[in-house]
Amino acid sequence: MKLAKLLNVDRILLDMKATEHWAAIVELVDFLTEMGDIPKDCREPILTALEEREAQVSTGIGSGVAIPHTFSDTLEEVVAVFGRSKEGIDFEALDNAPVHFIILFIVPRKDYHLHLRTLAAIAKMFTNCEVRRNLATAICRNDILDILDPKPNRVVNIGTEPC
């Protein structure tokens, strides 16, 4: 599954305020709740599930990237959000480096197979240092989407197109 298929401009938070691991996850879940992508009555169960997942091992995979994720018994489709922190977040990442990019996603339990495919696609994309560099300098949410969904034979000129 392509990450860009899960995102739109309304699911991108360019300037996260959180500076710590758990606060960053809460900020992203609250953002999705405010946007109406997560029903208000699902917020607490989703946060509990994310907390249980993070208690196993941090989802900070290194190179400034974290991929918190969980399952939901109530959501009907995968919900994802991209958050960027210019200052960096202490996410207890595997390499102990601050996290600048967080992709949080919630998968309906009935679509369990999407979980591993989504994780693999995200991890693969973020191993590319050019992708991370471009995301760090992107000016607007449309730029972020262009970086996450590159089209063949298309040059992405970050910051030159209207946002």
Strand pairing category for 12-13 and 79-89: parallel
- Tokens representing 12 are 């991108």
Please identify which of the residues 21, 69, 100, 115 carries the catalytic annotation. Answer: 69
69 catalytic per annotation? yes
- Tokens representing 56 are 């196993």
CB-based contacts of 157: which residues, under 8 Å, 6+ apart?
none
Question: Contact, 83 vs 100, CB < 8 A?
Answer: no
Q: Which residue in 75, 149, 134, 84 sits closest to 105, CA to CA? A: 75
The torsion defined by the Cα of 116, 120, 123 and 124, in degrees rounded to 10, comes to: -170
- Tokens representing 74 are 């109530």
- Element containing residue 83 per DSSP (H, E): strand 79-89
Active site residues: 69
